[in-house]
Structure 1
Amino acid sequence: MYLLRKRWASVFTRDIFSAGLLATSRSESANKVMKEICRSSTSLFDLVIKYDGILQKWRRGEREEDMHCRWLPGQYVRNNPLLTHAASVYTRALYKAFEEEVKASFNVILEEFPGEVGEWLWFNATSTGLRSRPRVIQFNRYSSHATCSCRMWESEGIPCRHIVKVFYLKNVVQIPDDLILKRWTKGAKFGESFPLNDCLHGGTMNYMLFVNKCMRDVYEMATSSKDSEVACSAILEQLANLRLEVSKIVGSPMKPCDGSEPTSGKVSNKIQNPKKIRGRVYVKKKRWQAEGRKKRGVKGRTSTEPKRTQLGTKTTINFMNIDEDDSADSAEEQMVNAGL
Structure 2
Amino acid sequence: MNMEQIERICISVNTVCNLGCTYCYFYHPENRVSKELPLGEAEIIKILDQAYIYHQKYQFKKKIKVNFVGSGEPLINWKIIRNAIRHFWDKYPDQEVIKFYTVTNATLVTHKIAQEMKDLKVIPSVSIDGPKEIHDKYRLTHKQQGTFDRVIKGVEVLREVGFDVAINTTLSRDLLFGLDRFVEFVKEYGFKKVIFDRLVDTPDFIVPISYAEYYQFLENIHGKFQAAKMTDVEVGNLEAYKRNFQGTPDKVCTMFGGSCGAGSNFVIYMGKDVYPCGRMFGKEEWLLGSIDDPIEVFTQRMKKHWPERSDCKSCAVAKACVRDCLLEYHTENYSCDSRKHFLTTMKGVLI
TM-score (norm 2): 0.22
TM-score, length of structure 1 as denominator length? 0.22
Return the structure number with greater relative CO, CA threshold 8 A, min gap 6: 2
More strand by share: 2
